[in-house]
Structure 1
Amino acid sequence: MEAATMEVSVASHAPRWSDWPRWIKQAVPLFVQVLPAFVALTLLAAFTTVSILLILGKAAFHLASLCSPLIFLVLALTLRRAGMLGDRPVLRTAVGTGSPWRNFFLVAAPLALVIGIALNALAVLAMLGSDIGAWKRGALPLTTFPLDLFSAEKRPLIVMLYTTAVEQQLSLMPLFVIMGGRLEPYLVASVMTGRETWSSARAVQAQLSKSQKLVLGPMRLLTLCGVTLQATARALDATSNWLGVALLLVSIGGWLFYCCLIAVAARDITDPHPR
């Protein structure tokens, strides 16, 4: 009976290319509404991981970023503002029982996990070697914050530290769950809202046609935009070039807009009473 219900739901709310202009139009005001909370949340996240970097070193910073639930907190914020969470708390939606953060290994594709774990293990080992040398030299732990970072000539470096710390936390898990995951992004959001369970979301995913997956394809491919902007900013040397700094800030804002797109698409596709 459940499978039959799912089949009717997918057929009656099938995503179409004509949906994209509406999703983008709805995502813009949602972006503006969530932006203040997003800035506060990312500043807190950046301060936390940069403190870990200064005290414990690069390896601890990388592991903290890799395990960060920040992307799901941002998505939960957009879902709340989009009116899809009901009385569900944002924090529990993002990291509680049944959340994508808790079910990371079930949602990510096995091949993405194998490649990601191998590459990150190599990166952490290399960072550990550097950190051990820093501990021996007395460079770590750094227990006082370098206030000279706030000088006028180093302000671009402050922005780069913020954007790098946030980008690390926002981009690592989406590469596994969203771009390299078993479910379309809107289904991940639908599970967070309670409109789907993980089992029903997998059933919906299995019923999506090739044309429907093609329509939803940009949701996965958009994750590459942030990576491209980051690489461009580094090529421009964002530590001394304000254009590079601007690209870094656009990249961070792009992640919020991306979550807004996912939220409005999930609301549109899974709405039992479409307008």
Structure 2
Amino acid sequence: MAIIDQSQLAGPAVTFGRWPGWIAEAIPVAVRVLPYFFSLTFFAAVMAITLLLVVGKAAFHLFSLASPLVFVLIALCAWKSGILPGGAVVRSSIGPRSPWRRFFKIATPLALVIGGVLNLIALVAMIGADAIAWKSGVLPRIAFPMELLDPEKRTLLVILYTTAVEQQLGLMPLFVVMGGRLEPFLIAAVVSRRITWDEASKIQSSLTKSEKFCLGPMRLLVLGGVCLQASARMLDATSNWLGVVLLLMSICGWLFYCSLITVASKDLVCVKNQE
């Protein structure tokens, strides 16, 4: 049975001095996951955009809100870090005890209330707009908009791809990573099957204020993607390829982030097996 080594977070284990090592290890992990990342996100984006074109904005938003994409990505990083078997990636990310299934238990009540109200307001507006589109015959769009393949509009294809991916990677993590009960590295530790949810809660309660301060950038890094997206909008990505590059950097930033919290969990959560 796997149990927690109680010395894993003792003394200087969680310090800012750990960060250079985590970053150095996270980069090659992200590179190894990159081909899977683009294949996975392309598939997820196609599904989301199909819903947007055929059903409407509300279906697109609901699909993005419920997408387990970020947890699948963490599991892929755990696999390429050597701490999770490749055959366990899907079960660990969307299985019975996955963070996707336990979403409402992981997110804090305040995050759920605020996020729930804001998303409900947005959904009501989207449903109204979709209803008008259906009545006027704008929806459903069955044929692919071939004009997007025109040379002067190809940037729109990249924007559609990055937007669909960003929506799926950004909505749920705001509840779990930014407004969750557990530190992000503990989420990664559970996904990689190194600890259980009960053990993660015990570690969380044992963290000192100093340790939480050292781990704080793991939550704040999420804001970096928001800044990149804002910069892309200011540059008008529809006509400026630099803006498109910033959007691609934003979604690739999620890959690096997932790699980072995974290697941090590998470092901070030491598990020993006993008969």
- TM-score by length of structure 1 reads 0.95
- Is residue 74–residue 191 contact of structure 2 (8 Å, CA) maintained in 1? no
SS in 1 for 2:10: helix
1:264 corresponds in structure 2 to: 263
Which letter does structure 2 place at the counterpart of 1:163?
A: T
1:96 corresponds in structure 2 to: 95
CA displacement at 1:272 relative to structure 2: 4.2
1:147 corresponds in structure 2 to: 146
SS in 2 for 1:8: coil
Higher relative contact order (CA 8 A, sep 6+): 2
Evaluate the alpha carbon distance shift between residue 113 and residue 6 of structure 1 in structure 2; reply closer, same or farther with a 3 A threshold: farther
Which letter does structure 2 place at the counterpart of 1:159?
A: V
Hey, what's the Cα distance between the residues in 2 that align with 1:131 and 1:13?
A: 55
Hey, what's the Cα distance between the residues in 1 that align with 2:14 and 2:201?
A: 17
Q: Which stretches of structure 1, 4 residues or more, deviate above 4 A after TM superposition? A: none
Structure 1 stretches lacking a partner, 5+ long: none
CA displacement at 1:14 relative to structure 2: 2.5
Hey, what's the Cα distance between the residues in 2 that align with 1:266 and 1:160?
A: 33
CA displacement at 1:88 relative to structure 2: 4.9
Identity score, percent: 55
- Cα-to-partner distance string for 1:181-240 (whole Å, 9 max, x where unaligned): 000011011111222111111111000001100110000000111111112211221111
2:200 corresponds in structure 1 to: 201
Q: Which moved more, 1:87-96 or 1:211-220?
A: 87-96
Hey, what's the Cα distance between the residues in 2 that align with 1:246 and 1:87?
A: 31
Q: Which moved more, 1:79-88 or 1:119-128?
A: 79-88
**Where do 1:51-200 residues align within 5 Å?**
51-86=50-85, 88-200=87-199
Hey, what's the Cα distance between the residues in 1 that align with 2:9 and 2:131?
A: 54
Which letter does structure 1 place at the counterpart of 2:178?
A: M
- Is residue 189–residue 195 contact of structure 2 (8 Å, CA) maintained in 1? yes
- TM-score by length of structure 2 reads 0.95
Structure 2 stretches lacking a partner, 5+ long: none
Q: Number of residue pairs matched?
A: 271
- Is residue 7–residue 204 contact of structure 1 (8 Å, CA) maintained in 2? no
Hey, what's the Cα distance between the residues in 1 that align with 2:114 and 2:18?
A: 34
Which letter does structure 1 place at the counterpart of 2:213?
A: L
Which letter does structure 1 place at the counterpart of 2:104?
A: F
Hey, what's the Cα distance between the residues in 2 that align with 1:43 and 1:84?
A: 26
1:252 and 2:262 equivalent? no
- Cα-to-partner distance string for 1:2-36 (whole Å, 9 max, x where unaligned): 99x66433216821111100000111111111101
CA displacement at 1:134 relative to structure 2: 0.4
Evaluate the alpha carbon distance shift between residue 270 and residue 13 of structure 1 in structure 2; reply closer, same or farther with a 3 A threshold: farther
- Is residue 7–residue 207 contact of structure 1 (8 Å, CA) maintained in 2? no
SS in 2 for 1:9: coil
- Is residue 6–residue 203 contact of structure 1 (8 Å, CA) maintained in 2? no
- Is residue 79–residue 86 contact of structure 2 (8 Å, CA) maintained in 1? no
Q: Which moved more, 1:108-117 or 1:5-14?
A: 5-14
SS in 1 for 2:133: helix
1:236 and 2:235 equivalent? yes
Task: Let me know the Cα RMSD of the aligned residues.
Answer: 1.6
